[in-house]
Amino acid sequence: MIKNIHEVFEELEKAATKEDAKAILFYNMTPGMRGVLRANFHPGIKFVFDEIPAYRENDAPLGLGDTSIHKEINRIYIFEENNPRVDPNLTLERKKQVLVQILEALEAKEAKIFADTLLKRIKVKHLTKKIVEEVFPDIFSY
């Protein structure tokens, strides 16, 4: 069963050692986790937001949200600066609307992670660029 990103981050917070943290990352690597880590730590990826627009937190019980980061990570490119896949006619205002829709559909903990990813502000014990590169040496190669 695939864990939500927030569940993996909670495990990382409790990890006793750096080696334990590496194992947690390794055994919980999914396309969603890879996307979050890459977006947060890749120095060449920049996002169009300096702050996250106001949104209403989803009050769905954990595990019962309308969607998850695993599904929504594929749309993160929409918010990247100068991504050639983004329609040049897509305005910043429309990007904000799309982001709000995503955040409101995610469970509250997942929405915070998605938002923090766009601001490159994920703060989780043991989660550093160095550890990510050690566990996944090719994560920034594309």
Each residue's pLDDT tens digit, 1-23: 899 999 999 999 999 999 999 99
pLDDT value at residue 66: 77
pLDDT value at residue 142: 62
DSSP 21: H
DSSP H helical ranges for 57-107 = 69-72, 92-105
pLDDT value at residue 141: 80
Q: 0.85 cut: is pTM over it? A: yes
Distance separating alpha carbons of residues 101 and 44, to the nearest angstrom? 26
Confidence of residue 78 (pLDDT cuts 50, 70, 90): very high
- Find all residues with CB under 8 Å of 82, minimum gap 6, and list them: 46
The CA-based angle 23-16-39, given to 5 degrees, is 50
